[in-house]
Amino acid sequence: MTGHIAILGVFVADTTYRADRAPRMGETILGNSFALGPGGKGSNQAVAAARAGGQAHFITKLGQDTFADLALETWNSAGVQPAVTQHEDAYTGAANIFVEEATGDNAIIICPGVASTINTADVEAQSNLIGSASVFMTQLEQPIEAAMRALEIAKAGGAQTILNPAPAAELPKDIFPLCDFITPNESEAEGLTGIAVVDLATAEAAAAALLELGVGTALITLGENGVLIGSHEGATHIPAMNAGAIVETTGAGDAFNGGFAVALAEGLGVDEATRFGCATAAISVTRPGAAASMPARPEIDELLADNP
């Protein structure tokens, strides 16, 4: 029987403003459009996992406000099982995203809100859920100390552990041996290893450096070039899949991680689980939004069948 997936992370409400240019200090300008939607890497990954057929539990903290309502509605719709506490004396996280209309370039202010206070005691309060998981996954949007304690509990319980080291941050050396899998993109891999990832050869070198730090398996995500798997048995390249015209790449990494976690929980090997993650990501980029773009299981199975 497939075991559950426990994910520790952050929810933020993405407020996106599109305009011809950014306002100068003290200036008010008219924008072209506004959108409000669910965001946060951990939340996006939980939605991706649930929609891909996984039994996904999401651990975080919310306020008691409208953005918390958005989080709960998002998870309910996707089938995510929340393991959250709500706090009336703090606010749910939010992101202010400015997009320059002509170029698509963006500038972002993120305020994690009450999720920035997730600590080791919060994690230990969920130790039964984390310790009994088939797969545990976290990122770096909540404090690193909390992520590290959760990885320790998961490893002790026998879960397969995944660290998605995003956003990029300096990490304590003790965290790497707790990671059965680490899933950086090119820039995150460079930040962790000092090796600029520009092709498969440099991706393989970065993966080898992560193995030296104590990671079990390194998966370097390469966007349109797929994923480089580095393990102690050698390196394997899994190409990306084409599911149609690319609309928006926001959330593609979260889609990959959520799909990969589901496949691991179902007992697939690393190569096949990586292909499952690639299929999940390939479909997500054909749609706008992050959480809103995550595909359902039948869509993923169909794309995999078309790409044997």
Question: What residues act catalytically?
Answer: 254
Record the tokens describing residue 118, joined without a space. Answer: 């997730």
Helix/strand/coil for 90: coil
- Contacting residues for 43 by C-beta, under 8 A, at least 6 apart: 9, 10, 11, 12, 58, 60, 71, 74, 75, 291
Locus of tokens 């497939």: 2
| Residue 107 CA from chain centroid, whole number | 20
C-alpha pair distances (Å), 56 with each of 6, 8, 78, 213, 239? 6, 11, 10, 29, 27
| Interatomic CA distance for residues 64 and 76, integer angstroms | 17
CB 56 within 8 A of CB 136: no
- Residue 245, judged by CB atoms within 10 A of its CB (0-12, 13-18, 19+), counts as exposed
Helix/strand/coil for 156: helix
| Residue 126 CA from chain centroid, whole number | 20
- Contacting residues for 74 by C-beta, under 8 A, at least 6 apart: 38, 43, 47, 80, 291
Nearest to 57 by CA among 127, 156, 141, 140: 127
